[in-house]
Structure 1
Amino acid sequence: MQHNRLGRTGLKVSQLGFPGIALNGQPDDECRSIVQDAVDAGITYFDIAPSYGDAQARMGPAFEQHRSRCVLNCKTTERSAEGARRELEASLEALRTDHFDVYQFHAVTTDDDVDQILAPGGAMETFRDALDRGVIHHIGLSAHNEAAAIRLIETGHIETALFPINFAAWHTGGFGPTLLEACRAHDVGVLAIKAMARRRFAPDETNPNEGRLWYLPEDREEVAHLQLRFTLNTPGVCAAITPGLPELMRLAIRLAADDDSPLNSDEIDRLHTLTADTSEPIFTA
């Protein structure tokens, strides 16, 4: 599997990343199997968060033997220094590690999120202290909103950004290009999510994967493969985190191994046609 430089962190990460949320609610033996399949395929970037159900507790023992060879990213939605400190310490314990290679402000969405993070007594204080102590090695963010993420990136503290890069959201919804350009300008390592997403659930639909996916994944293999290749080959993308279902993680591994080349013009046209039934992209600018 191809490995790429993660922005100015200097870390090398696999082009596919592991979705820790896939372990939520899984039996211990299945967690070990899922993690082992990822490692065997060459995945070295692992993503997790305390908001992913019991995934942290499941991942700790399953991942422990692989920790020294992988890049581990965790996140917090806490915006205060004290809240972030508590959650950081709990995550370190659950994941059986003494540090995170990357620690991210999770789900940065509004100006208020940014204001709280940067205010006196805000979460940035904990991040900077943890960085000084070696408890975290690099600071990042995850975001579903471009403007708020860019504002935080422009502080100069952010080294990685995890956000959606999805074909329909990019071409129809206009989501992604502006944030990606800000990342390039600041040499921020880009971690893509939602590559294989199709659309949001309608209000009257039931989500069979509640707790792991909040959107409808693309179930047409040809479309999923074209989507994945689009994301992996968007200039600046360092890694794409696979969808949060074990079977979709394994599908992404197989598809990328089969062909991870850039889309040609005919394939781009075909993907436009195949995604035309997506009435509204999963994200819009």
Structure 2
Amino acid sequence: MKKVDFGKTGYKVSPIVFAGIVSMSEQQADSDRYVAQAIDFGVNYFDVAPSYLDAEVILGNSLKPYRKDVYLACKSTERRAQDAQKEFQASLKRLHTDYFDVYQVHSLSTPEDVEVAFGPGGIMEMILKYHKEGVIRKVGFSAHSERAALEALKLYDFDSVMFPMNWQLNMEQGIGNALMREKQKKGFALLAIKAIIERAWLSQEEREASPWPKGWCKPFDADDTAARMAGMRFAFHMGADVLIPPGNWECQSSMQDLYEQVAARPYGPEDEQLLTQRLAAASAHPFFKKDEGGWTAA
């Protein structure tokens, strides 16, 4: 898998990232196998978070033989430095590392999230301290609210942004357009999530009975490869540098396997036609709404 530039960081990374949730709640031997197969495939960027239950412990063990050869990213949902400090040290220990290649403020959603994270005693104070010391190499954030993302970008020159670049969200609501304009100006790396998501789950029962019970949204079916590839091409067409699969091995391995076909040509009319045809059914079950998080309309 050919490596790509990770924004302005100087990192050369795999265009498909290993999603830490893949290791969550798995047997250690299975996680070890998933990680080894991903690395054999060329994956060299791994993303995880303490909010993913036991994923740090399991993935940390799986990565022991490879740590010096991969980029490891972690993130925190804490908003205050004092709380984030404890979580940060625990993450280092669980992941058997003494530094993070990327560390992110996780899941910025509301105006309060942004205000507290960037205010006095906020998590950004801790992140910038460790960044200065070299314990955090690059600084990023994740968000599902585009308004939250845009506000955060006004307050710091981030190295990376993790955000849903999804065909349905963009076609119906224009989600991602404003963020892409900022990317063109600022040059941050964009990690796209939700590229192969089809719709929201219809019920918890559907989710639990599916092959993807760890997923927050329903991906295109495993045999619906044309739709998966169209969704991946759409995300790259929007401006994504790398894609993060939904958190299960089926989607992880599928996106790894499909990448070369996806990269063989740009997003085109046939992809547009396919996704437009799927839009009517999927739009009845959106999984995010513009300005989600209590923001007033721009």
One fold, TM greater than 0.5?
A: yes
Q: Deviation at 1:151?
A: 1.0
Unaligned runs of 5+ in 2: 291-298
Name the CA shift for 1:47/1:204 in 2 (closer, same or farther; >3 Å). Answer: closer
Q: Deviation at 1:282?
A: 2.7
User: Residues of 1 paired with 2:285 and 2:213: CA distance?
Assistant: 23
Aligned-residue CA RMSD (Å): 1.6
1:164-243 to 2 correspondences below 5 Å: 164-203=164-203, 205-208=205-208, 212-219=214-221, 220-235=224-239, 237-243=240-246
Name the CA shift for 1:211/1:277 in 2 (closer, same or farther; >3 Å). Answer: closer
User: Residues of 2 paired with 1:233 and 1:2: CA distance?
Assistant: 18
Is structure 2 residue 286 aligned with structure 1 residue 281? yes
Question: Which 4+ residue blocks in structure 1 deviate beyond 3 angstroms?
Answer: 203-206
Tell me which of 246, 249, 265 is aligned to 2:249.
246
Q: Which residue of 2 aligns with 1:137?
A: 137
Q: Deviation at 1:203?
A: 4.5
Give, as a single letter, the amino acid of the residue that structure 2 aligns with 1:245: N
User: Residues of 2 paired with 1:100 and 1:82: CA distance?
Assistant: 19
Deviation per CA, 1:120-175: give whole Å up to 9, x if none.
11111100111011110111000000111111111234211000001111111211
Number of matched pairs:
284
Q: Is the 8 A contact 1:174 1:284 kept in 2?
A: no
Identity %: 32
Q: Deviation at 1:56?
A: 0.4
Which deviates the most, 167-176 or 188-197? Answer: 167-176
TM-score normalised over the length of structure 1: 0.95
Q: Deviation at 1:230?
A: 1.6
Q: Is the 8 A contact 2:207 2:213 kept in 1?
A: no
Give, as a single letter, the amino acid of the residue that structure 2 aligns with 1:238: D
User: Residues of 1 paired with 2:98 and 2:204: CA distance?
Assistant: 45
Q: Which residue of 1 aligns with 2:46?
A: 46
Secondary structure in 2 matching 1:275? helix
Q: Which residue of 1 aligns with 2:2?
A: 2
Q: Deviation at 1:211?
A: 6.6
Q: Is the 8 A contact 2:202 2:285 kept in 1?
A: no
